C-alpha cells in the first residue's frame, strides 16, 4: 500500500510532539497493513523532507501526505507544498486538512468541562490565528454555528495574528450577558499557544473552564485515515 505520512506543524514544546506521536500510533494501530509515518514541518523531528527522502531511498514511488492541521492557512497552502516539492523522485498527493470535520470533537471536549445547556454560559472558541482572513472566518463561523444550535453565547478568539484575543472575547461575552466562561479548544495538541490562551483566560476570569485539545479523541485518527483514503482515490482516478 502507498504510505501515509501524517504531517504536523511541530513545536518547541515536547508535549505537542508527544501528542502527535500518540495520534499517529493510533492511526497505525487502526490500519496495521498501512505504512504510517509521522513528520513535522518545523521545530520537531523527523522533518517531512527527511521522511519523504527516506521513502525514496526505500524504493517507494508514491506517498500520501495528510496534514494534521485544522485550518487551510499558510502552512497548508504554502509551506507544505513547497517542502514536498523539495523531494524529487516521489509522487506525493497532499490530502485535505482536518478542518471543521472535527467540530463535533471540539464540541464534545467542551461539553466534558462545561454545562452547554446553561443559558448563562459564554464560550470562547480559541484557535491559533492566521494572517489569512478566510482561515480565521472558518473559526468564527463555527462559533456562530454553535451559538445558533446550542443557545449559549460564543465568539472566536486567537492566540496570534488575528483579533479578538481571549481577553477581548471574554469582555464581549460578558457584555452580552454571559455569567460563566468556558474556552473550547481549536488546537490539535497542547503546546505554547494553548498555554498562552489558558493564561489569558484565567487572567480574564479565574473561574474559567478549559477544554482539552483534540488529538486524543479516537475520531481524529479515523478522520486522518478517511483523508488518506479520499486523497488516494482521487490520485488513482487522475493517474
Q: How do residues 4-52 score in pLDDT, each as one tens digit?
A: 999 999 999 999 999 999 999 999 999 999 999 999 999 999 999 999 9
The Cα 186–Cα 195 span in angstroms is: 13
Q: Using 50, 70 and 90 to split pLDDT, how confident is the model at 238? A: confident
User: For position 213, what pLDDT does the model report?
Assistant: 98
Q: Which three cell numbers stand for residue 59?
A: 524504493
How large is the average pLDDT for residues 215-238?
Answer: 95
Query: DSSP characters for 167-199?
Result: HHHHHHHHHTT--EEEEEE--SS-SHHHHHHHH
pLDDT higher than threshold 70 for residue 204: yes
User: For position 42, what pLDDT does the model report?
Assistant: 95
User: For position 208, what pLDDT does the model report?
Assistant: 98
The Cα 172–Cα 177 span in angstroms is: 9
The CATH architecture annotation of domain 113-210 reads 3-Layer(aba) Sandwich (3.40)
Q: How do residues 108-150 score in pLDDT, each as one tens digit?
A: 999 999 999 999 999 999 999 999 999 999 999 999 999 999 9
**Residue range 4-99+216-238, CATH number:** 3.40.50.1400
User: For position 122, what pLDDT does the model report?
Assistant: 98
User: For position 206, what pLDDT does the model report?
Assistant: 97
User: For position 75, what pLDDT does the model report?
Assistant: 87
Q: Where in the chain is the domain with CATH 3.40.50.1400?
A: 4-99+216-238, 113-210
Cis geometry, peptide bond prior to residue 89 (ω within 30 degrees of 0): no
How large is the average pLDDT for residues 215-236?
Answer: 96
How large is the average pLDDT for residues 167-178?
Answer: 98
Residue 83, C-beta contacts closer than 8 angstroms, at least 6 positions apart: 41, 47, 48, 49
> Mean pLDDT, the chain, as a whole number?
96
Q: Using 50, 70 and 90 to split pLDDT, how confident is the model at 235? A: confident
How large is the average pLDDT for residues 94-104?
Answer: 97
User: For position 239, what pLDDT does the model report?
Assistant: 63
User: For position 43, what pLDDT does the model report?
Assistant: 95
Percent of the chain with pLDDT over 70: 100
Amino acid at each position: 500500500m502507498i504510505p501515509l505520512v501524517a504531517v504536523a506543524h511541530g513545536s518547541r514544546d515536547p508535549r505537542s510532539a508527544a501528542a502527535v506521536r500518540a495520534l499517529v500510533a493510533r492511526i497505525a494501530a487502526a490500519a496495521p497493513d498501512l505504512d504510517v509515518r509521522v513528520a513535522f514541518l518545523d521545530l520537531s523531528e523527523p522533518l517531512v523532507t527527511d521522511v519523504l527522502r527516506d521513502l525514496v531511498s526505500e524504493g517507494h514511488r508514491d506517498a500520501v501526505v495528510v496534514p494534521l492541521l485544522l485550518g487551510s492557512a499558510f502552512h497548508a497552502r504554502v509551506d507544505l507544498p513547497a517542502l514536498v516539492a523539495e523531494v524529487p523522485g516521489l509522487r506525493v498527493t497532499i490530502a485535505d486538512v482536518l478542518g471543521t470535520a472535527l467540530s463535533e470533537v471540539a464540541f464534545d471536549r467542551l461539553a466534558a468541562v462545561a454545562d452547554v445547556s446553561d443559558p448563562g454560559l459564554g464560550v470562547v472558541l480559541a484557535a491559533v490565528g492566521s494572517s489569512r482572513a478566510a482561515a480565521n472566518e472558518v473559526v468564527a463561523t463555527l462559533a456562530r454555528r454553535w451559538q445558533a444550535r446550542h443557545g449559549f453565547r460564543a465568539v472566536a478568539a486567537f492566540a496570534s495574528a488575528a483579533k479578538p484575543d481571549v481577553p477581548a472575547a471574554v469582555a464581549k461575552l460578558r457584555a452580552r450577558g454571559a455569567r460563566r466562561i468556558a474556552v473550547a479548544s481549536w488546537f490539535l495538541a497542547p503546546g505554547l499557544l494553548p498555554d498562552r490562551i489558558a493564561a489569558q483566560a484565567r487572567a480574564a476570569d479565574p473561574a474559567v473552564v478549559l477544554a482539552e485539545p483534540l488529538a486524543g479523541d479516537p475520531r481524529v485518527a479515523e478522520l486522518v485515515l478517511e483523508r488518506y483514503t479520499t486523497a488516494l482515490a482521487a490520485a488513482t482516478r487522475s493517474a
